Amino acid sequence: MPSVKPIEYDEASPAVRAVYDDIMQTRKIKWINNFWKVLANDAVTLRRTWESAKEIMAPGALDVLTKEMIYLAVSVTNGCEYCTASHTAAARKAGMSDAMLGELMAVVGMANETNRLSNGYRVPVDPAFEPKF
Amino acid sequence: MPSVKPIEYDEASPAVRAVYDDIMQTRKIKWINNFWKVLANDAVTLRRTWESAKEIMAPGALDVLTKEMIYLAVSVTNGCEYCTASHTAAARKAGMSDAMLGELMAVVGMANETNRLSNGYRVPVDPAFEPKF
Amino acid sequence: MPSVKPIEYDEASPAVRAVYDDIMQTRKIKWINNFWKVLANDAVTLRRTWESAKEIMAPGALDVLTKEMIYLAVSVTNGCEYCTASHTAAARKAGMSDAMLGELMAVVGMANETNRLSNGYRVPVDPAFEPKF
Amino acid sequence: MPSVKPIEYDEASPAVRAVYDDIMQTRKIKWINNFWKVLANDAVTLRRTWESAKEIMAPGALDVLTKEMIYLAVSVTNGCEYCTASHTAAARKAGMSDAMLGELMAVVGMANETNRLSNGYRVPVDPAFEPKF
Amino acid sequence: MPSVKPIEYDEASPAVRAVYDDIMQTRKIKWINNFWKVLANDAVTLRRTWESAKEIMAPGALDVLTKEMIYLAVSVTNGCEYCTASHTAAARKAGMSDAMLGELMAVVGMANETNRLSNGYRVPVDPAFEPKF
Amino acid sequence: MPSVKPIEYDEASPAVRAVYDDIMQTRKIKWINNFWKVLANDAVTLRRTWESAKEIMAPGALDVLTKEMIYLAVSVTNGCEYCTASHTAAARKAGMSDAMLGELMAVVGMANETNRLSNGYRVPVDPAFEPKF
C-alpha cells in the first residue's frame, strides 16, 4: 500500500492536471501510471521530476530503446520492483525483444558479479584506463 | 593495495597463461589488466569468469557498445571505481562519444532517483505493466 | 512469510517478555510490532538491538523527528519495505507533515542521483572539503 | 582521476558560466567545486541538476540543516566518498555540531543494520503501519 | 508476477531439459524451482549460470553449509527476497540451525552498520591491514 | 582523510581508554585500529559498538572464522574498502587460506549476480521455500 493516496485526474489540482496532460500527450497514451499519481501529492516534485524525465529520456546521442535499457539495468541492480516492472514494459514498447532482454539481464548479472570481485580484491585501476586530457 | 599479488604473464602457470593468451587474442591487445592478474590467484575463477565474459559480451541481439554501456551503468550504480574506470574506457573504445557518456550518466542518475521515489512511497505496480502470457 | 515464527507475548520467555515490556513502556504503546516478534527467536539479538535502538533514538543533540527522518531516508535508499513503512509511521507520529515527507523524499531522490553522478565521473574531493585538525 | 576534464570558469562557455555565476551568488561563495566543473562537460545536465538542487535544498517545510543531514545520511549509505566529504562540510556550515554528526552516524548505522534484519527475516509489514486514506 | 513465462519441464526444449535433468540429479531432488524455470527463457544464460553454480557451490576449501551461509548473507544485504527465501531453505537443508541463523543475521546486521560508520567517517585503512607480498 | 580526528590512546578520556584497553585485551593485541580511533570522537557510540562487536563476533553456534567470512562477504558486497581490508586481515588471522578466500569471493560474486537475475525477472518465491511453523 502506498504511503500517500494516489491522486486521480478528476480530483487533481490544475497544476497537477497540467502535468498529467503533458505526460499523456508526450507519450501518446490515455492513462497515468501510479508513480505520477503518488508523486502528485507533492506538486513541485511532480513537475520537476516529469520535466527532468522528459528532457533526459528524449532521443539524443542515445536512442530511446538504449536509454530504457540503461534505466532497466539500474532498476534491476537497485532491486526496485516498481521500476523494474515499468521499465521492462517501456523497453519492450521501445522495441526490446526477448533475446535483448535476456542479454541485458546477463550483462547486468555479470557486472554485479565482477563489481564485487574488483572491490573484494581491491584491484587498482590500470594507468591505461585513465583518460588523457 | 590489492588483497592478493597480481600474477604477471612470466610467472603464471600454464593454465593461467592460456587464459591470458585467449584474452589478448580475443580483444586484439598485448597486455592484461589488473582484474585478471588478481583473479589469476584462483585459476578456476579466472577461467570461469573469462569464459562467461567472452560469452556474455560478444555481439548478439545487443551490440558491443550497448552492452558496455549497460555494464558501465551498473558499475556506476554500485560505486565500483575499478569497473567504472575500465568500462568507461571499454565503452569509449566501442564508440561511446562524450555526448553519449553524458546522456548515459543522466539516465543512470535519474533512474537512481526515481528508484528511491518509487520504493520510498511504496508505489504499487500498475496492472498494465504486468506481462501477458 | 517470515523466516521464523513471530513470538507473541503470551508464549514468550521471561527474557523476551522483559524486552517487550520495556518497549511498550518506553514507547507508551500497548502492542509489539512484527520486527521485535521475529527477532525474539534470538533473545540475545532482541535485547541488544532494543537497547541500541533505545539509546540511539532518544532525543539528544538531534530531536526524535530528525532522527526518524534520517532513519527513513536510509531505509528508502536501501529499499527496505518494512522499515520504510514502519519509519514513515514513526516519523509521522513524531510530527512529520505531508509537506515534510515530500521534501524528505525529494532530498533522498536527489542525493541518490548525485551520488551516482559523482561516482560515475570519479569526481575528486576538493581540498576545501577536507576537515582541518 | 575524473572521467572527463573539469572545466574552469575561464574556459567555460557562456551557458556554463551562467550556471557557475548562479551557484556562487546563491551560495554566497567565490569558487566552484569539482562536481559542477566535471558536470559542465554536459551543459544540459549541469543546468538541470543545479536548478533541481537549488529548488530541493532551499528552506521549506524542512530547514537547510535537516536537508543537508538527510543528504549526508543517503551519501554515507551509498558509500559515495565525494558526496560524504562535500555534504559533511555543507552540513557543518549549516550548523551541524560534532555531537550532531555523531548521532547522525549512529542512526545511519543502526538503520542499515535493522534494514537487513527486517529483510533477512522477511518481516511482514504490520497493518498498524499502513496509512489510512 | 515474473517478467517472462516460467518454462515447465514438459514444454522445455531438449537443451533446457538437459539442464533441468542435471539440476535434479546433482541436487537429488525431483522438481525445478522458479529461478531456473524463468531463466530457461534464455537457454544460454540458463546453462552458463547452472554450470557456474555447480562449480562454485560444490564442497572445496569451504564446505557447502559455509557457502550457503555466505550466499544468504549477500542476498540479505542486497534485499533480494527470492534469494533470501531460497538460500535460507538451502542453508537449513545443509545443516544451519536456528541458532546459526540467528548469529548469521547478527553478523550481517553489524557488518552493514560498521560498513557505513567506516565509509561515513572516511576511515583510512591501517597499514597493518595491508597484505605483505 | 577522515571526517574527524582519530584519537590516540595518550590523548583519550578515561571512558575511551577503558574501551581501548578492553579491545586490546580481548583481541590480545597491542594497538588500536583507525576505526575505533575515529569512533572515539563519540564515546557513547564507541562503547556501544565495541560491546556489540564483542558479543556478536564471539564464538557461538558459528565459529570465529565463519563469522569473519560472513562479515567480509557483506563488506565486499557493500563496497566498503576499510571493512574489506580489515576483515580480510581478520579472516586470515582466524585461519582463512588463499583457497578459502578464492571460494568466498566466487560465492559472493555469484550471489550478487543471481540476486539481480531474480529481482530483474521478478521471480516469485516457490511455496516449497516457505518455512513450516
Q: Report the mean per-residue pLDDT for chain F.
A: 98
Task: Judge whether residue B116 has pLDDT over 90.
Answer: yes
The answer to whether C131 touches D80, Cβ cutoff 8 Å, is no
Q: Which residues of E touch B3 (CB under 8 A)?
A: 131
**pLDDT for the residue A12:** 98
Question: A102 to chain E: nearest residue by CA?
Answer: E42
CB within 8 A of E21, min separation 6: which ones?
none
Instruction: Show the cell assigned to C79.
Output: 529499499
Point out the residue among F79, F84, F106 whose CB comes nearest to the CB of B45.
F106
Q: What 3-state class would DSSP assign to F94? A: coil
**pLDDT for the residue D133:** 86
- Confidence band, pLDDT 50/70/90 cuts, at residue B133: confident
Point out the residue among C74, C103, C128 whose CB comes nearest to the CB of D112.
C74
Model pLDDT for residues B33-62, shown as the tens digit of each residue = 999 999 999 999 999 999 999 999 999 999
Task: Judge whether residue D22 has pLDDT over 90.
Answer: yes
- Confidence band, pLDDT 50/70/90 cuts, at residue E17: very high
> CB distance B105–C114 less than 8 Å?
no
Q: What is the share, in percent, of chain B residues with pLDDT greater than 90? A: 98
For D86-94, what is the mean pLDDT? 98
> CB distance A42–C88 less than 8 Å?
no
For B95-122, what is the mean pLDDT? 98
Point out the residue among F5, F48, F131 whose CB comes nearest to the CB of C52.
F48
> CB distance A98–E44 less than 8 Å?
no
> CB distance E103–F67 less than 8 Å?
yes
For A109-123, what is the mean pLDDT? 98
The answer to whether D64 touches D55, Cβ cutoff 8 Å, is no
Interface ipTM: 0.98
The answer to whether A111 touches B69, Cβ cutoff 8 Å, is no
CB within 8 A of C40, min separation 6: which ones?
C6, C7, C12, C16, C19, C20, C46
Task: Judge whether residue F133 has pLDDT over 90.
Answer: no
Chains that touch D (3 or more CB pairs under 8 A): A, B, C, E, F
Model pLDDT for residues F66-79, shown as the tens digit of each residue = 999 999 999 999 99
Task: Judge whether residue A133 has pLDDT over 90.
Answer: no
Write out chain D in H/E/C secondary structure: CCCCCCCCHHHCCHHHHHHHHHHHHHHCCCCCCHHHHHHCCCHHHHHHHHHHHHHHHCCCCCCHHHHHHHHHHHHHHHCCHHHHHHHHHHHHHCCCCHHHHHHHHHHHHHHHHHHHHHHHCCCCCCHHHCCCC
Instruction: Show the cell assigned to E31.
Output: 522438481
Which of C129, C124, A124, D70 is closest to F2 using CA atoms?
Answer: C129
The residue behind cell 530504457 is A68
Model pLDDT for residues A44-65, shown as the tens digit of each residue = 999 999 999 999 999 999 999 9
- The CA distance from C2 to the nearest CA of chain B, in Å, is 20
Helices (H), A5-128: 14-27, 34-39, 43-57, 64-78, 81-93, 98-120
Q: What is the share, in percent, of chain D residues with pLDDT greater than 70? A: 100
- The CA distance from B12 to the nearest CA of chain C, in Å, is 32
**pLDDT for the residue F73:** 98
The structure's pTM equals 0.98
Point out the residue among D5, D48, D130 whose CB comes nearest to the CB of A52.
D48
- The CA distance from A125 to the nearest CA of chain D, in Å, is 10
Q: Which residues of C touch F130 (CB under 8 A)?
A: 1
CB atoms within 10 A of CB B107: 24
Q: Which residues of A touch F112 (CB under 8 A)?
A: 112-113, 115-116
**Mutation site for F-interface testing, chosen from E32, E125, E133 by largest number of F Cβ within 10 Å:** E125
Model pLDDT for residues C10-46, shown as the tens digit of each residue = 999 999 999 999 999 999 999 999 999 999 999 999 9
Q: Report how many Cβ contacts below 8 Å link chain A to chain C.
A: 25
- Confidence band, pLDDT 50/70/90 cuts, at residue E133: confident
> What is d(CA A70, CA B110) in angstroms, rounded to the nearest whole number?
11
